[in-house]
Amino acid sequence: MYAVIMAGGKGTRFWPLSREKLPKHLLNITGEKSIIQYTVDRIIPLVPRDNILIVTGASHCDEIREQLPQLPAENILVEPVRRNTAPCIGLAAMHIRKKNPDAVMCVLPSDHLIADTEAFLASLIAARDMAKRRACLVTIGIRPRWAETGYGYMERGKATDTIGETKIYQVRSFREKPEPATAEAFLKDGKFFWNSGMFVWKVSTLLDAIQGLIPNLYDGLLAIEEAVGTDREAQVLSEIYRKTEPISIDYGVMEKAPDVVMLEGEFGWNDIGSWDALWDVLNKDAKGNVTRGKVIRSGASNCLVYSPQKMVALIGVEDLIVVETDDSLLICRRGASQDVKKVVEHLEEKGMKEYL
């Protein structure tokens, strides 16, 4: 089995700590290691180090190599430009096919938190075995715990298979990030699951799907595959990628493929996609506060403070997020941190690159 970890995100919702040159997955915000280090550590019991590939951008590859010295240098695949998840995954699949055309690959985001590693690995094993049994595309759904509007959803259909004690279900439909009322309806329905962005399939199954559904991408990947290992590799990769249409694996493949199945992941999943999500998963004091750094709390409750350098005093406040860095200070109401990305958009529009 091979593992592909996608590490190309900007992490705009974790501004001001997350920046273009140091996105969320490279930060240490949940423990002693960075999030991507935890991601790699989590899968090593199942996937040999030589079979773990990281796909990232040029601005992050040096930091990733420094953080993950246990991985072969050639396993860090560098995209010349961002082209969304379908080209990213296709590029990794081509590299794997050159090594083992019959391989099964799992695709994992670099920035998720998993509470129960043993249960997580058991889900990957069940998904792997399902991918071997039939030429299908396997994904992992998470039962929603609230009416989240920041995630995509999958509609679960009938059970089609059983792997050990794990039931495998047909996916009836994929849904984009919903409006609040729709998210509430999904939650009540019981058949809609959060789309975790984790996938398992045989390399041949995926590439056949890309060939049929995104033929232009497949043709470009073939050209890249022919150049891999030659002195033309970097040039061909750059030329092809700059002509490649940005497209997500969900829209390009998963929503259109004829045989997509899912299993339910029950392993304490959180994509920690915002400061609110971080508050949700970290240990809190008796008043519900999460603090990093020197913080005085007087009558404060349910707040998140990240300030490793400056002392912060909270007096008589509740439901606040306070994040301090060398050059910026974020203060927002807890529950509104999804809108932090709007600050980043404003900075981009104003050309304030020193804060990005």
Are 179 and 311 in the same domain?
no
Which of 214, 249, 270 is the C-terminal boundary of a domain?
Answer: 270
pLDDT tens per residue, range 101-160: 999 999 999 989 999 999 999 999 999 999 999 999 999 999 999 998 889 999 999 999
Are 236 and 294 in the same domain?
no
Are 284 and 147 in the same domain?
no
Write out the residue range of the structural domain in which residue 61 sits. 2-270
pLDDT confidence of residue 11: 64
Q: What's the Cα-to-Cα distance from 195 to each of 32, 124, 263, 308, 333, rounded to whole Å?
A: 28, 15, 11, 34, 27
What is the value of pTM for the model shown? 0.92
Handedness of CA 57, 58, 64, 65 (dihedral sign): positive
Q: Beta partners for 306?
A: 292, 323
Q: How far apart are CA 106 and CA 124, in angstroms?
A: 8
pLDDT tens per residue, range 17-32: 998 888 889 988 887 8
pLDDT confidence of residue 144: 96
pLDDT confidence of residue 150: 84
The CATH number of whichever domain residue 178 belongs to comes to 3.90.550.10
In total, how many domains does the chain have? 2
Q: Which residues of the chain have pLDDT under 50?
A: none
Are 217 and 337 in the same domain?
no
